[in-house]
Structure 1
Amino acid sequence: MHITLRAIGSDDADAVVEFLASNTFPFHVLTSSTLGSLRPGVQAGRFWNEETQGYWIDDAGHCIGMAVLQDLRDDTPMFDLGLGDSHRGRGAGTAALRALCALVFTSMPDIVRFEGQTREDNIAMRRTFLRAGFLKEAHYRLGWPTADGGRLASVAYSILRQDWESNTVTPLDWDDLLD
């Protein structure tokens, strides 16, 4: 697998709308969208502005998904990752997340840590975080609204710059107040 990232810009608006409308994202807050609901936000620069930058995820020159860096003015940006329906379950998520880490930590010198969140039932993404060197930092009970009106836990993971550079994971002491 040879993953590369290409910045998304205004010339990509139609392709972004088409990608998002033609795939489902069962573990996102919005699992699917229509062309009409997506177009205004995308054309207004939702994925390319001072706070946010989207990237196409390419594998050997073929677009397989999209990633979005958010909170770029902070020293702890977050990301959203969406692979196309036919590209899931093949290890591309881990490769894409590693490529995102390399992008963030090599081109953004002020970034201290890099964070992402997913639903508690998104086992594939939770394993992807771990394979990419991230550490679970939080479990927000009932923090993720679902399409059916319910709620699930939101689970947060991050990777520290120093851990990415040294290819280690600094452990977290969950029981630091217990004697």
Structure 2
Amino acid sequence: MTITFRRMTPDDASAVTAFLTANRFPFHVNPAPCESSANKRVAEGHFWSKESQGYWVQHGGKDIGLAVLEDLEDDNPVFDLRLAESHRGRGLGVDVVRALCRLAFTELPQIVRFEGQTREDNIAMRKTFLRAGFVKEAHYRQAWPTADGTRLASVAYAILRSDWENNTVTPLEFDDLLLDA
């Protein structure tokens, strides 16, 4: 079945809060949003503003998660993806990320690259990025605060519009500058 997206509007406020509070997101900064923190994000316009737009992720006609495109006034937007707990581990991640690329590159003609980040220990998402054609571009050491107060690396992946259009992967030369001995 195909992954589709339904654009969120302020009419979705209570449904967004319900989704965020009904699921745990172990690899997000706030793994278990309470109702007040979810309502605050909704009220601040995180899901519909000039800078961000939320979408319900749909599979088989059912909402299975949400995705938010952020930094929309930039030509390098990023995304936040949250699947419902009941739909994780089913092999949908690659299809969802590829569908997000299609959405971003067709709806936002000005963008040149599309980025996502995850924690270093979110191996499933890191593999999803690679399988969807993204390239690892950064490994930010101790940049991701966790709920228990520790810090992990944040790993950034991106796909170029040209790679998406041509179904290619342009490798990144990461160690292009080395110090002489």
Same fold (TM over 0.5): yes
1:37 and 2:37 equivalent? Answer: yes
Taking the aligned partners of 2:168 and 2:116, their CA distance within structure 1 comes to 18
Q: Is the 8 A contact 1:10 1:43 kept in 2?
A: no
CA offsets per residue over residues 105-158 of structure 1, 9 Å max, x none? 112111000001000000000011011100000000111111111000000000
Residue 164 of structure 2 corresponds to 164
Instruction: Quote the Cα distance in structure 1 between the aligned partners of 2:116 and 2:137.
Output: 10
Deviation at 1:101, TM superposition (A): 0.3
Structure 1 position 44, deviation (Å): 4.1
- The count of residues paired between Structure 1 and Structure 2 equals 179
CA distance in 1, matches of 2:23, 2:64: 11
| Cα drift, residue 46 of structure 1 | 2.0
TM-fit CA distance, 1:174: 1.6
Q: TM-score, normalised by structure 2?
A: 0.95
1:19 equivalenced with 2:19 (yes/no)? yes
Q: CA RMSD in A?
A: 1.1
1:141 partner SS: strand
- Measured after TM superposition, the shift of residue 94 of structure 1 is 1.2
Structure 2 match to 1:176: 176
Deviation at 1:37, TM superposition (A): 2.5
1:142 aligns to 2:135 (yes or no): no
1:42-57 matches, cutoff 5 A: 42-57=42-57
**Displacement after TM superposition at 1:95 (Å):** 1.1
Percent identical across equivalent pairs?
Answer: 65
TM-score, scaled to structure 1: 0.97
* Letter paired with 2:107: S
What are structure 1's unaligned runs of at least 5 residues?
none
